[in-house]
Structure 1
Amino acid sequence: MSSEELLPKINEILDRAKQLGFTMSCDTETGQLLRVLAGSKRKGDFLELGTGAGLSTLWLLDGMDAASRLISIEMDESIQHIARTCIHDARVEFISMDGGMFIEENKSKKFDLIFADTWPGKFYLLEETLAMVKPGGYYIIDDLRPIETWPDDHREKVQSLVSTMRNLEDFYVVELNCSTGLILATRK
């Protein structure tokens, strides 16, 4: 998709998300990183935990080749509806269900890239989700920088997650102090 085609789609998704009061779409830096990583995996199998309104979905699709496939999971059907109606691409399968249930039911599947942008696969079922990453595959999480709207106990959850990620033995891990705070891990 050219920049001239991508920008109107981004704006459409952001406008519709704003109308529903959804403000958690990925930012441009995260999106661009997702696009680059997706572009490095030809004929890739991708998993997005947390479609939201579909902005990160759009960035992933923009980097994917024609033979790649993306499964995008979202529990909130009203928010995912934005993605379903704005993104018309046969390479993506939208599934409306709890991400934890998806992980539990699909533990045997392997992916070249997993973007965990919701609680399941990030704050719980982390070990199961990491086991779904193929050798040489990527696991990406965002939203690790503190913000004012975090509940009191959330900072501790993030610190625990970051500590766990730092100590993974079967992944190379880098913390990226950009965007909303990212960790990128690659299975050895």
Structure 2
Amino acid sequence: MYCEEFVPEDDVLLRARDRAAELGCPAIRPGAGAALRVLAAALSARSVVEVGTGTGVASLWLLRGMPADGVLTTIDVEVEHQRAAKAAFAEAGLAPTRTRTIPGRASDVLPRLTDGAYDLVLVAADKHGYPEYVEQALRLLRPGGVLAVDGALHHDRVADPARRDELTTVVREVGRSLRTDDRVVPALLPSGDGLLLAVRR
């Protein structure tokens, strides 16, 4: 699709994507990554949380949109994935102070982060945990901050009411919940595998 190739990925991103394939972990698609970079730049996002580091593909897109003094806090239960992400950060020439990698379960880490202190939160981890992660993200965001949920179309299954498997249902309900939540202004972009956005009022 043209929009997925509109902003091409460089060698650092491509290598991080290759590592994701080798480790069998999902990576955000280029179109959604480019959208995240634009969001981070538009917000001048200095404090960002990422749920699901993977091998650093989405992290790199976010960091490239953030100001030079911005810090990305990224959480993943898989230490091996974070090790691969750190290699990507080093290849990109990022100072170690730009990232804070926290190994562990997001359900354990997110409650320890400061309320209302973040400009952007990306949820891109285990979809079973999306309802909890989204609720925690709304607590973390400042007014005007943005929640981004990757995989919101779940391989185009969410839009098909006949699809009722567990994961599709979970992701669909997250979208429905945000659509009717008075705390946010939501939108769903078709970039990547669907990027659900919500601005905190």
Q: Normalising to structure 2: TM-score of the pair?
A: 0.83
Deviation for aligned residue 1:146: 3.5
Shift of 1:65: 1.0
Q: 1:109 to 1:42 in 2, by over 3 A?
A: same
Question: For the Cα contact (< 8 Å) 1:115–1:139, is it kept in 2?
Answer: yes
Counterpart position of 2:4? none
Q: Distance in 1 between matches of 2:103 and 2:147?
A: 21
Structure 2 equivalent of residue 116 of structure 1: 123
Q: Is the 8 A contact 2:45 2:119 kept in 1?
A: no
The answer to whether residue 102 in structure 2 is matched with residue 102 in structure 1 is no
User: What SS does the aligned partner of 2:168 have?
Assistant: helix
The unaligned stretches of length 5 or more in structure 2 are 1-6, 158-162
The CA deviation string for residues 116-139 of structure 1, in whole angstroms up to 9 with x for no partner, is 112487222432321111111100
Residues 43, 67 of structure 1: 8 Å contact kept: no
1:152 and 2:155 are equivalent in the alignment: no
Q: Which has the higher helix share?
A: 2
CA deviation digits over 1:77-103, x for unaligned, max 9?
111211011213231111111111111
**What displacement does 1:68 show?**
1.2
Using the TM superposition, give the Cα deviation of residue 109 of structure 1 relative to its aligned residue in structure 2, in angstroms.
5.4
CA deviation map 1:13-54 (0-9, x unaligned): 1222222233x1001111101111111233621111100110
Query: For 1:60 and 1:16, how far apart are their aligned partners in 2?
Result: 18
Report deviation, 1:162: 1.1
| Within-5 A mapping of 1:15-164 | 15-22=18-25, 24-42=26-44, 44-88=46-90, 89=94, 90-108=97-115, 110-119=117-126, 122-147=130-155, 152-164=165-177
| Aligned-residue identity in percent | 26
Q: Specify which of 14, 27, 39 is matched with residue 17 of structure 2.
A: 14
Gaps of 5+ in 1: none
AA matched with 1:171? V
- Per mean C-alpha deviation after superposition, the further-off stretch among 153-162 and 54-63 is 153-162
Q: What letter matches 1:92 in structure 2?
A: T
Looking at structure 1, the residues matched to 186 and 109 of structure 2 have their Cα atoms a distance apart, in angstroms, of: 25
Q: Which runs of structure 1 show a deviation greater than 4 angstroms over 4 or more consecutive aligned residues?
A: 148-151
Instruction: Quote the Cα distance in structure 2 between the aligned partners of 1:80 and 1:118.
Output: 13
Let me know the Cα RMSD of the aligned residues: 2.4
- For this pair of structures, how many residues does the alignment match? 184
